[in-house]
Amino acid sequence: MSGLVSLVGAGPGAPEYLTRLGERRLQEADVVFYDRLVDPELLHLAKQAELIDVGKLPRFHKVKQGQIEQLLIDYARQNKRVVRLKAGDPYVFGRGGEESQCLVAAGINFEVVPGITSAIAGLAAAGIPITHRDYASSFHIITGHRQAANGGLDWANIAQQEGTLVFLMGMGQLPQIVAQLRQHGKPATTPVAIIQWATHWNQRVVTAPLAQIVSTVRQEKIGAPSLIVVGDVVKLRAVLQAPQTPLTGRHILIPAAQPSRLAQLLSDRGAFVGRFERSTPQALTVNLPDFTTYQTLVVTDIIAFEQLQQQLLTVKQDLRILASLKLVATSQRVAKGLEKHGLLVDTCTPLEQLDLSDPQLLIIGAAPILVTTGATWLALYRHQLPQQDRLQPRQYQAAIFPSTQAVTDLFNSVRPSQRQQLQQLPSFAMGEQVAAALITQGVQRVYTSQPSYTAILDKIEGWYQA
């Protein structure tokens, strides 16, 4: 019996272009084989999967195509749900057709989950419609490095096409592409656009006439991966490119969450979001105390409260056993979380302002426990730190931290070199306590706002406008 291999198109780059079926297949996957150009954001969806990098660089394939195909077969034969995550669409110069043939020959169940090809979406992101009734009634997508064994490209035919020409994977051959088009009759004045890292945070676009595009690319230091667009539709970029905002093109680091309201708000304002992994709660088995010996229950975080609920149910009790206790939250965030559980706090008091010598205080939270002389600290879970192996802090222009725990999660789970880069990154704190935690970690530029999404977005926009 074999599992299922899903050849999933990741889309042109920006993670929100992934289809809903593609998202579900990633969430269900046991193993994901992903390409170099796949946005790391998408890998956060595959929380239970083994992640295997099979990305290819120009002229260097760390895993040969034949090996990739055999790995797909081998894992499927272990009854695994396998995702082959490919940039763009699997069947648009993605070798998905070859992989499908191998799977059929091996008797493996497979499906194709189409993705939005960069050959269309990449142009749209740059303000260039691939067709327009006044400029192009057709389009042609061409590989920039067709194998010589296949006879090369029919340049006489390509150059005479009246529609839009889009070359994928062609930057290494740009001078030859230009020379062939001109040799076979394409006018030297034909507009050309080069779109590097289309739909990504670091997208760059240059335009020039066909006769000047090679020198323009060299001058602007544009490289792969890039789309080469040839045709009159390029003229429309001047009027159709998206309006600029203070956050347009900014790459901002935030904590991982699915879904994330903060990520959506940043994206709607033109920013590109990257996420760092959060710690996961690991429940601790504890002997529950005699609650009648305390007067006050202090809740330091909602996870601890939820763990307390669970442990009470395990011993066939519920929240009614806490009815006689005064309820204290150590922050507004905790107070709001308790409201969602149907509980109103008596007071909201930071931990440092409580009398920890009072033996009638029961404090619940995470390990390690706080040593106190009077109050009792009940550690109900510990934080299991993630590995931030794929995090590259230098790719970001700013970071946003909504809580002190987010600060702890990140700085306690990175390598020394990553820590040094994070300390140089402008960081925005949602509240004074978060700012203090960042300063303690050695962050050199900390900007503080009120703990709300509106306040933090206004703060970071104002900073960029200053």
pLDDT band of 151, cuts 50, 70, 90: low
Whether the CB-CB separation of 136 and 164 falls below 8 Å is answered with yes
The dihedrals phi and psi of 204, each to the nearest 5 degrees, come to: -135, 145
Give me the pLDDT at residue 322, please: 93
Chain-centroid distance, C-alpha 435: 24
- Choose among 259, 207, 198: nearest CA to 225: 198
The Cα–Cα gap between 365 and 46 comes to: 29
Task: Tell me the pLDDT tens digit for each residue of 409-423.
Answer: 999 999 999 999 999
> What amino acid positions are annotated as catalytic residues?
35, 56, 169
The Cα–Cα gap between 337 and 420 comes to: 34
- Choose among 161, 233, 236, 224: nearest CA to 195: 224
In the block, tokens 């529609």 appear at 163
Top CATH class of 120-240 equals alpha beta
- Choose among 381, 388, 413, 385: nearest CA to 44: 388
Domain boundaries, the chain: 4-116, 120-240, 251-279+386-465, 297-383
What CATH number has the domain spanning 251-279+386-465? Answer: 3.40.50.10090
Mean pLDDT along residues 271-300: 92
Sheet holding 50-53, edge to edge: 50-53, 31-34, 81-86, 4-9, 109-113
Q: What is the largest CA-CA distance in the chain?
A: 92
Q: Considering the domain delimited by 4-116, tell me its CATH architecture.
A: 3-Layer(aba) Sandwich (3.40)
Higher-confidence residue of 125 and 62: namely 125
Task: Tell me the pLDDT tens digit for each residue of 54-104.
Answer: 976 655 557 888 999 999 999 999 999 999 999 999 999 989 999 999 999
Catalogue the E-assigned strands of 55-138. Answer: 56-57, 60-61, 81-86, 109-113
Q: What is the mean pLDDT of the chain?
A: 92
Q: How far is CA 162 from CA 136, 202, 231, 232, in A?
A: 7, 31, 8, 9
Give me the pLDDT at residue 373, please: 77
With a cut of 90, say whether residue 285 has pLDDT above it. no
Give me the pLDDT at residue 41, please: 85
The pTM of the full predicted model, rounded to 2 decimals, is 0.82
Give me the pLDDT at residue 57, please: 60
For a pLDDT cut of 70, what percent of the chain falls above it? 96
With a cut of 60, say whether residue 1 has pLDDT above it. no
Mean pLDDT along residues 287-309: 94
Q: How far is CA 7 from CA 55, 95, 389, in A?
A: 15, 10, 25
> Prior bond to 114 cis, omega within 30?
no
Mean pLDDT along residues 123-133: 96
- Choose among 380, 350, 356: nearest CA to 366: 380
Higher-confidence residue of 183 and 56: namely 183
Whether the CB-CB separation of 89 and 70 falls below 8 Å is answered with no
What b-and-e string marks burial along 316-349, b requiring 16 or more CB atoms within 10 Å of the CB? eeeeeebeebebbbbbebbbebbeeeeeebeeee
The Cα–Cα gap between 330 and 327 comes to: 10
With a cut of 70, say whether residue 206 has pLDDT above it. yes
Quote the radius of gyration of the chain (alpha carbons, Å): 27
With a cut of 70, say whether residue 387 has pLDDT above it. yes
Strand-pair partners of 110: 5
For a pLDDT cut of 90, what percent of the chain falls above it? 78
Mean pLDDT along residues 102-110: 95
